[in-house]
Amino acid sequence: MATTVNGAFNEFMGKNVNLDPNKTKRARKSRDNLIDNIHGLNSDSNFFNLYSDIDISFGSFARRTKIRPLNDIDNMIGINADGSSYYENLNEVKIYVHDSNSPQYNCCNNNSNVLNSTKVINKFITGLKNINDYKHAETHKNEAAATLQLKSYEWNFDIVPCFMTKTDSYDRSYYLIPDGKGNWQKTDPRKDRVRVTSLNQKHSGKLLDTIRLVKYWNVRPTMPSVPSYALECLLLEYYDIRDETSDYIDLRFKDLLLFISNNIWNPIYDPKEIQGDLNTLTYDEKLKISNRANNDYDKACEAVKEETENKDHEKSIKKWGEILGSEFPKYG
């Protein structure tokens, strides 16, 4: 229950959108403990020679744009190349293993020295099954990671084996991760992390909460959902071209609804300059998302008018509830 719009949004964000701070703290501790346990596998001569210097957490939890529930935490675990090399052709990346590297060579395609990423994941799964405090390890549904279920917590870990390339002629290096088909693909979560952090600082720390609120709106069953990473990149485009933003999250949210309605039709380019256009939505999906965002923008304008001009917080809170659902606080 709330008597002001600001109070309603504060309550809503704390109880329904943002991760619980205590749970986040436990999750980070359990993540660090898991990574230590994985590196303990280095003592097994039959396991890969791990390269902790390139380990990195990625995904929305690492970027602090994750909303409730906390159900998965993503981590890349580095493997030392040990003489291996890679070759790229039309975005298909293959890693060629040195014959003397038996742990990697045993994960190659039959009668070749081409490293099979699915076999690498399976080797991680075999090792993870022997770690205490974890009850189940399996291949992720996208076949590009090992998913580990915990005994004591509700969140899972997605463990992604990776290599790091040498710096190229453009002074860039890349992570090589499984592509879900047995080969490898380029990525660079460092780019995403730096972009989110710098734009959040540019807008005085107001960006992260706003992204989370839009993500909550995005997964409500009122329209097709924009893929989470593509949506985040679209929102960052908005903040990248603006120098100022409102102090009030309801006003920021209102403006983003209009931006989504107008721009969901456009390409959403990968800021890492690897994947190209991330907007894979169909015309029908774009139409439904655009219409919902526009309708909710109109309602948001009504809610702001009730609050600022008519001084009627009760009507304003009710209107915001029409946009954000029954979990939004009632007036009172």
Q: What are phi and psi of 77, to 5 degrees?
A: -115, 120
Cα-based angle 103, 109, 111 (whole degrees, multiple of 5):
100
Q: Please name the residues in contact with 46: beta carbons below 8 A apart, sequence gap of 6 or more.
A: 102, 103
- Give me the residues paired with residue 114 across strands: 96
Q: Which two tokens stand for residue 296?
A: 């909710």
Q: Is the pLDDT of residue 309 over 80?
A: yes
Residue 91 banded pLDDT, cuts 50, 70, 90: confident
Domain ranges of the chain: 20-187, 193-324
Whole-angstrom Cα distance, residue 196 to residue 194?
Answer: 6
Neighbours of 142 (CB within 10 A): 11
| Cα distance between residue 22 and residue 15, in whole Å | 13
Residue 199 has pLDDT above 80, yes or no: yes
* Rounded CA separation 221/325 (Å): 10
Q: Which of 263, 262, 249, 261 is nearest to 295 (CA)?
A: 261
> Taking 90 as the threshold, does the pLDDT of residue 132 lie above it?
no
pLDDT of residue 186: 96
Residues 317/332, Cβ–Cβ less than 8 Å: no
pLDDT of 292: 98
Indicate the pLDDT class of residue 99, thresholds 50, 70 and 90.
Answer: confident
Least confident of 125-139, 142-156, 214-228: 125-139
pLDDT tens-digit profile of 253-264?
999 999 999 999
The CA-atom distances, in angstroms, between 231 and each of 68, 189, 320 are 17, 16, 21
From residue 259, give the alpha-carbon distance in Å to each of 181, 213, 235, 297: 36, 15, 9, 9
The whole-angstrom distance between residue 261's C-alpha and the CA centroid of its chain comes to: 22
What's the whole-model pTM score? 0.96
Residue 141 has pLDDT above 90, yes or no: no
Q: CATH top-level class for 20-187?
A: alpha beta
Give the pLDDT confidence of 156-177 residue by residue, as tens digits.
999 999 999 999 999 999 999 9
Cα-based distances in Å from 125 to 148, 205, 329 = 8, 39, 44
Please tell me the distance from the alpha carbon of residue 266 to that of residue 285, in angstroms, as a whole number.
Answer: 13
Q: Quote the CA–CA distance of 272 and 276 in Å, as a whole number.
A: 9
Quickly count: other Cβ atoms within 10 Å of residue 318's Cβ.
15
Residue 215 tokens, joined: 């993500």
Return d(Cα 283, Cα 301) in angstroms, integer.
27
